[in-house]
Amino acid sequence: MKLNDALWGAMLVLLGGALVIHVQGFPRIPGQQVGPGLFPGILGVGLAVCGLLLIVRGIRLRTANPAGAFWVALPEWAHAPRQRLAFAVLVAVNVLYLVVVDRLGFVLTGTIYLAALMGVLRVRPSRIVPIALVLTLLIHYAFYKLLRVPLPWGVLQSVAW
C-alpha cells in the first residue's frame, strides 16, 4: 500500500509529538542534565520535523501534478486475484502458527503452514501434502534433534520421538 508523503508526514508528526509528551513522565537523575528521556525526546522532535517536511513535500507534489497524485494507492497486486489470495493466506498462516503451535505441536502446524502456502503458490496439488510433511520433518529434525531447540509437540506429545 502506498500513502502520499503528506499522510506519512502527518503520522510522523503525531508519533513525534506523542513521544515528546510521553518522555516528560520519565524520571530525571538528580544533579545531571541527561536522563533516560533526553534521547527519545530528541528523536521525537526529529521525527516531527521530518514529518512536517514530508507534509510540505507531499502537498507540493500534489499541487504540481494533480493528475498523478494520490492520497492512498493500492499496490498493483491488489487487482490480481491469485496474488490477493496468496497475501491473505500468508497473513492467515502466520497468525494461525502463533495461535495454535503450542496446542497442535510443530510437526502438524508446520505441515499445514507449508501446505497452505504452497497451495496458493503454483505447486501441483497432488504433491503439496507429501512435500510439506517431508520438509517440516526435516526442519524439525535439524532444530529439535541437532540444535536441541525445544519445539512444542502439542497433541503428538504421547508419540514424541
Query: Which range, of 62-70, 136-144, 153-161, touches other proteins by CB under 8 A?
Result: 136-144
Residues 72-131, interacting with other proteins (CB under 8 A): 75-77, 80, 83, 86-87, 90, 94, 97-98, 101-102, 106, 110, 113-114, 117-118, 120-123, 131
- Could you say whether residue 147 binds other proteins (CB under 8 A)? yes
Q: What are phi and psi of 60, to 5 degrees?
A: -60, -40
Q: Report the C-alpha gap between 41 and 6 in whole angstroms.
A: 23
Instruction: Write the CA distances from 58 to 46, 50, 55, 69, 114, integer angstroms.
Output: 18, 12, 5, 9, 41
- Could you say whether residue 50 binds other proteins (CB under 8 A)? yes
Out of 14, 39, 60, 70, which residue is the one contacting other proteins (CB under 8 A)? 39
Q: Report the C-alpha gap between 97 and 9 in whole angstroms.
A: 34
- Could you say whether residue 145 binds other proteins (CB under 8 A)? no
Instruction: Write the CA distances from 102 to 38, 96, 132, integer angstroms.
Output: 41, 11, 19
Q: Positive or negative, the Cα torsion across 60, 66, 67, 72?
A: positive
Q: Report the C-alpha gap between 11 and 58 in whole angstroms.
A: 13
Write out the residues near other proteins by the rule CB under 8 A: 1-3, 8, 12, 19, 22, 26-27, 29, 32-36, 38-40, 43, 46-47, 50-51, 53-54, 57, 75-77, 80, 83, 86-87, 90, 94, 97-98, 101-102, 106, 110, 113-114, 117-118, 120-123, 131, 135-136, 139, 143, 147, 149-151
